[in-house]
Every structure is written in structure tokens, then in C-alpha cells.
Amino acid sequence: MNSNFSGRYWSLTLGMSAVLSAVPLVVSAQSSDELERQRRLYQQAQTLLDQSSYRAYEQLRTSLDDYPLTPYLDYRFFISDLKNKSAQDVQDFVNRYRALPFSANIKARYLNVKYQQQDWASITQLYDTPPRGQQYQCIYYTAKWKQGQQSEAFAGAKKLWHSGQSVSGYCDGLFSAWHSAGQRSEQDVLERLVLTFESRNLSLMTYLAKRLTSQKEQAWSSQVIELYRHPERLTTLAKAIASHAQGERILISHLYRYARIDDDKAYQQLTWLEKAKLINLKSRKKLANYIAGRLLDDDGELNQWRDNTIAASGDDALVERRFRVAATKESWSAMRDWIDKLSDEAQQTTKWRYWLGRTQMALGETDKGKQTLSSVLGRRNFYSVAAADALNVTPKISGSTLTYQPQLIEKYHTVLTRIEELIDVDKINAAKGEWYWLLSRANADEKAMLAGYAGEQHWHHLSVFASIQAKLWDNMQLRFPVAHQWWFDFYSKRNQLNPITLMALARQESALDVTARSPVGARGLMQIMPATARHTAEAFELDYQNSDQLFEVQKNIEIGSHYFKELMDQYDNNRIFSLAAYNAGPSRVTRWVKRTDGKVDAYRFIESIPFRETRGYVQNILMFELYYRDRLNQPGPFLTAQEQKARY
């Protein structure tokens, strides 16, 4: 088993009612020597495919019928000659390998090849309905047009044309034919121009305006573009724009955009449009709510209008944002007032029962506050634990175990064997792809059994992912496997940190996926940015050569723990500040601390964090610590005495 993936040091007890030997693994089916021989042959076959030595490959392939990863060879060999395959060949291959994730992209590859060959018949033979994806729909409808099916092709062209952004170049020929056939109307151009305004695409808007033929429409489009370029000129342009059938859409879209540029002036324009009766009441209310939301951080003369608008909005999400402002810098009484503005349904949730109880206690209604807080105890929820903390009682963590039923996943024996082999040969991303694909086809009961199977195999990330897919929210053993404990213990001692904090942080950051890579480039178990790694390695004189090392468990935990130590030192061992900084950056935490100005407690500060992601991040890790302490039988406070005492 690959130690970087499965974890060399682990502790996991599932409490299942049956052992997992009912689903045998590849090693039990083959001798170790035979498996190693097949692995060598597999690598030789890959090399032959790299060299395009197809005849030699086909001879070698006959020796690999029983090797779990052979389908990947079949896939490579099949696509190497895709230009000579028929539509039926492709469909047969997809049907044969439907259990593998690569089956989902073969048709798209085939479409591209046949488009280059202008083999329109093969394209229409392969697809009865339009494929997913704009590029592939362009190819599909182009093939329909080339096959003489103009009605369907031009209907598709019209649908694809109506986009506020540029459309794939694969549609160029189709659009030209649609236009030449006289099928593209002035209304089509106008509709797309409005869509580009709503999508804020000035260059495409200007292009479309030149495609209008009517002088009246040309004049109107010029006014629309003028408004986009000079949003402050609304009162000059509004009536002329509003006279058009599409005018109100333009004015509404304009105000949403202008509110992001200058919320005060957007309010003035909204008031003017309302008096001029140029927008309908429903749109006016939505715009007012939006502008009020943009004004939440302002302390100007529009505060009263903002608060009145939010109070009357009936929008729980907007009221919650206003409550957060109150939690940041206003009184407990103001917080209570905003809780009262929430819907009855929202007020009954754990979160809002907690805050109601806190405000009741702060305002002198101690008995009532305790009763309210007591009503939410015993739930697996941040606010339930916060309520227990407020009442000075120990939170109770409910849990469940999984009754294992191996017969439910016997049909996935081949897939599970293949996944294990991928892990053993360090093809972790391919293993993840197979796992995700398997779960996408499994039903709820099967997902639960697969989560249990992954847990027993110590496939930590796969266990976590499957437990989430199966909604096993109460199964702490599967959702929070104890992975890489030796390294967490080692580096926590070196940096005088709590290892459970590091484990909880890694669980939140990557779901224990050692090969995780975020869209912005964070890598590995603790999701470290390469720049952060370089800074930390230099600051602590750590051996660090390149960003690929961040996919190594030991190196990732070493650098991540040292960086977190740096944050804990900066914030006087306060996890709340340190976790927020780990997620959003120290500079943002500095700004947030200035806003609260030492006037709120820990829970109000967490609630005041303006970024939903960071707010949830801090709450999650505090909860994950609680779960891991329960799993490892290491009791401890939810917040330390220092964190409780601190003012934020």
C-alpha cells in the first residue's frame, strides 16, 4: 500500500459487524511474484504505446488479460487510432468500459477528431441528442447542418447564439450559414446585445450593435453602450432606453452593476427611476435590497434607509448579514432586534436559537436565556456546542457505526481491485477518479458500504469522500479517520502545538487528500501555497527544494505545522485568529480585528467574519477538533481559557 496515501501511522476502528474478506483484494488472488511480473509487463506495454510500436504492443497485451489496470492500456490503444473508428466502434467501447471514468470522455475526443475530418455522418450516428458542452454542441449542430438537417441545426444555432459571452469558434460556420439563410433576425441580435450588457461584455456589445440594420435599433443600442460606459448619465439616457421593449432589463442590470461601483449614487438613481415610474415594483424591491446589502459596511446618511429596507425585505440571508454587522460593533439589544426580523422558520434553527439565548442572557433574561440555550444542546452543530459552552456543560457528541453488508458491493469487486492496484503503484489521482466515478453510480446503501470498505483499507480520503456522499453525518470514524498521526505528533511537539489542531486543520483543508491541488495552487494535505512554503522554509531553515514536495505527507505536515506555529506566535496562541489567517491571510484578520476593536467575545468575533468560507472554516475546525478529541479519548475545552478570556 502506498504510504503517502494510506498513511503509515494510523488508528481506525470501524466497529463493523462483519469482516471485509468477502470482497477479496488483488494480492489474495495472485502471488506477489506474479503481480510484480504483470506490473513490469504493464510498464513495458505503456512504453510501447509511447513509441507507437503497436504491433509489439498487441503481442504483449495478450499476457495482461488478468492484470487490473489493463483497461487503461486498452483505452490508450483505442484512442491512438480514433480517426479510423466508426461511431459503432466508439459506442461499443464505451459500453464495454462503462465502469471506468475514461468512458465519459471518449465521445468528446471522437467528436473533435471527426470534426477535423469533416466526417459529419459519424458524428450524427454517435449522438441522438445534443452532447453537453458548448464546443461539442457547436460540432453536433454543424454536423446536422452539413447533413442537410437545417431546421434542427438552425434551431440549435439560435440557442447557442443567445449568450452574453463569446461562443466557441466551432460555431462560426454554423452561425454564418444560419445568418446567410436569413434565419438570424434583428430580434436575435437585440436579445444577445441585452445578454452582453447583463454579462458586462462591452467588446461583444459593441460588435453586436454594428450588426443591427434598423436605424432605430442602432440609435437605441448606442444609448445602451453610452450608459454602460458612463453609468452616471442614467437620468439623461433612461427615458429613451426605457421606451424600448428591452429597456427595463437594461436599466435593472445597470443598477446592479452601478451599485458595485458607487452604492450611494446607485441609491439616488433607484429613487429617480422609481419616481419616473421606469421600473416595476418587484424589480425595485430586489434592487433596493441589493443596494441595502452593498451599504452594510457604510456609516453614512443612508443607514436608516438601509435598515428600514432590510427590515422589510423578508430576506433571511440579508437580515443575517445585517445581524453580523450588529454582532461586530453594536449592542446586544440591536442584535436581538435583528433576530426578531428573521422568519419564524429561521428563528427555530440551532444557530438562531443560540443567538437568541445569548442575547436574552446579556439583556438580563438569564433564566429564559438558559432555557433557550438548553433547547439546542446535544446536536452535532457548532452553535449547539457554543450553547453548551455558554451554559458551562460538557457537549455530547452523538455517533453511529456501520453494519457492514458485503453483498451490497460484491458487484464492484473488479473496480475495488483496480483501485487498490492504482494506489499500490502510486497512481493516486487515477484511483481518486475511479472512486468518484464509482460513487456517482452507486445508490445510497452502496455508498455507505463503500465508505466502510475504504475505511477498513485505510484509504483515508476516499473514506471521507464516500461518507459525505453517503450522508453518514453521525459516523465519526469514517468521516474523521486518524491519519498520519505519527507525523502530526512529531511536528506538533517540535512546534509546541496541539496535534489534534493540526489533524483537524488538515481534515478541513484537504479532506485528508495528500494529492489535493486547489484552483489557486495550494497543495497537499494542509493545502500550502508554494510561496508560503518558500517563506516558511526560509524562516525556519527547513529543507525545501520544490513545490512537488508538498504532495509528500512528511514535508507537507512539516511546513504546514511550522507556518501554523508562526501564526500562533503572531496571535498569542489564539486558534481563532490563527485559523482565520491560515484561510484568509493575516492582513484580512488585522482588518477584522480593527472593526471589532476589542469589544466582542470569541463567538461574536467568529460570527462577525465577513467571508462565509472563512467563518465556516473556523467553525468547522473547532468542531473537527472536538470530534478528534472524542475519537482519541483526549478531553479538552472547546475554546481555551485564554481564548475565552480574550477580547476581540
Alpha helices, DSSP H only, in 376-516? 382-391, 413-424, 428-441, 444-456, 460-469, 476-479, 485-495, 499-510
The closest of 603, 582, 580 to 592, measured between CA atoms, is 580
464-493: pLDDT as tens digits: 999 999 999 999 999 999 999 999 999 999
Which three cell numbers mark 630? 472524542
The closest of 384, 399, 387 to 630, measured between CA atoms, is 399
Mean pLDDT split into 10-residue runs, the chain, 648 residues: 33 37 44 93 98 97 97 98 97 97 96 97 95 97 97 98 97 98 97 98 98 96 98 97 97 98 97 96 97 93 96 98 96 98 98 99 98 97 98 90 92 97 96 98 97 96 98 96 98 98 99 97 98 98 97 98 98 98 97 95 98 98 97 95 96
Which three cell numbers mark 349? 434553527
CB 181 within 8 A of CB 154: yes
pLDDT at 181: 97
604-620: pLDDT as tens digits: 999 999 999 999 999 99
Question: Is 509 among the catalytic positions?
Answer: yes
pLDDT at 12: 34
CB 360 within 8 A of CB 372: yes
pLDDT at 21: 39
pLDDT at 30: 63
Question: In sequence order, what are the residues at sequence separation of 6 or more whose Cβ sits closer than 8 angstroms to the Cβ of residue 17?
Answer: 403, 404
**Per the residue annotation, which of 446, 509, 558, 625 is the catalytic one?**
509
CA distance 124 to 140: 7
pLDDT at 300: 85
Kind of pairing, strands 482-483 and 10-11?
Answer: antiparallel
| 3-class secondary structure, 18 | coil
pLDDT at 404: 86
pLDDT at 99: 96
Question: In sequence order, what are the residues at sequence separation of 6 or more whose Cβ sits closer than 8 angstroms to the Cβ of residue 140?
Answer: 111, 123, 124, 127, 130, 131, 156
